[in-house]
Amino acid sequence: MPDKAPWITYRPQLKVLDCTVRDGGLMNNHRFSDDFVRACYQTCIEAGMDYMEIGYKNSPKQFPREQFGDWKFSDEDDIRRIVGDHDPVKTGLKLAVMADAGKSDWTQQIIPKADSVLSMIRVACYVQQIPEAVDMLHHAHEMGYETSVNIMAISIAQEVEIDQALEVLAQTPAQVVVIVDSFGALYREQIDNLYRKYAKAIEGTGKEIGIHAHNNLQLAFANTIEAIILGCNRADCTMDGLGRGAGNCPTELLLGFLRNPKFKLRPVINLLQEYVHPLHKDVDWGPNVAYNLTGKYNRHPRAAMQWRDGKQKDDFLSFYDQIISDV
């Protein structure tokens, strides 16, 4: 390889999506104050983010409204309460929501784009749910949205399943296919392996590959960089890494790394200071030994989250002994 410094420049087509409210909401049942969500929104605009994912479109039939905050459902009126008649052109920011296969009344919840401030629907599914994901992608596309598909928990999917899923997804209208390391279990070489697989599958379709990493092994930022180096043009991140369990790739680290001068770090630091750091009092996210272990053993972070909710939350040795006996 030549003794050059390609990292000194940037790819204009690389787009960043902040999913603080959507992924972080998994830690507090999406009960964020309007102030918090509005501050995130303003920060995304000021920081030059390309997308902000404001929540889920999950079914109120499955998830009783009284048990969750508005961002579990992201109704148009609730979004507009925060963003008004959001203008993606003037602000430079597009709004997105995530709809889960199996958890969304998507035929009702995804309304025509003409009536919405949203630009993108991100369809999330497990590898077992590809058929519903395909239907959802077609529906969202027909409603007029940009679409993205996130196959979750990719670290426990079988290779042949991934290959087959990608073959099917390559034929959908999804503009983006995201590598999702829900368990924060993937090391660098595994990211490479998956990237090559995704790249081969979508070759010639014009689709982009995205990366959504979790921080169980303190590798969320590193794996995001790795995917970007390989050619990913969509990267997910959250403010202070706020997200499920060990959290996500921190927006402040990712923006600090990217060289595109449109990205501004100061508004993000300001948000951390005023809104996100204070949340640590009530919401317990970020890497620790319990998440290290679920990551290492390629397990759902659920066990570690339950542990952190209990009385023994700092007894990591007992957690180790438990997870080892489960393995």
Q: Which is nearer to a copy of itself, 66 or 189 (CB)?
A: 189
Sign of the C-alpha dihedral, residues 87, 89, 93, 96?
positive
β partners of residue 95 = 52
**Window 226-245: contact mask with a copy of itself (x via CB under 8 A):** x--x----------------
- Are the C-beta atoms of residues 23 and 248 closer than 8 Å to each other? yes
Contact set for a copy of itself, span 244-283 (CB under 8 A):
250, 252-253, 256-257, 265-266, 269-270, 272-273, 277
Q: What value does the CA radius of gyration of the chain take, rounded to a whole number of Å?
A: 19
Q: Letter for the amino acid at 172?
A: T
Contact set for a copy of itself, span 25-84 (CB under 8 A):
none
**Window 196-215: contact mask with a copy of itself (x via CB under 8 A):** xx-----------------x
Q: Which of 28, 190, 260, 322 binds a copy of itself (CB under 8 A)?
A: 190
Answer yes or no whether residue 138 interacts with a copy of itself by CB under 8 A.
no
- Are the C-beta atoms of residues 28 and 70 closer than 8 Å to each other? no
Answer yes or no whether residue 312 interacts with a copy of itself by CB under 8 A.
no
Answer yes or no whether residue 156 interacts with a copy of itself by CB under 8 A.
no
Contacts of residue 210, Cβ cutoff 8 Å, sequence gap at least 6: 17, 148, 150, 176, 177, 178, 179, 232, 233, 234, 235, 236
Task: Output helix, strand, coil percentages for the chain, rounded to the nearest 5.
Answer: 50, 15, 35
Residue 151: its H or E element = strand 146-151
Q: Which of 144, 192, 199, 264 binds a copy of itself (CB under 8 A)?
A: 192
Q: Letter for the amino acid at 101?
A: A
Task: Tell me the window of 39-47, 91-99, 136-144, 288-296 that interacts with a copy of itself (CB under 8 A).
Answer: 288-296
Answer yes or no whether residue 114 interacts with a copy of itself by CB under 8 A.
no
Q: Which residues bind to a copy of itself, rule: CB under 8 A? A: 1, 3, 5-7, 187-190, 192-193, 196-197, 215, 217-223, 225-226, 229, 250, 252-253, 256-257, 265-266, 269-270, 272-273, 277, 289, 292-293, 296, 314-317, 320-321, 324
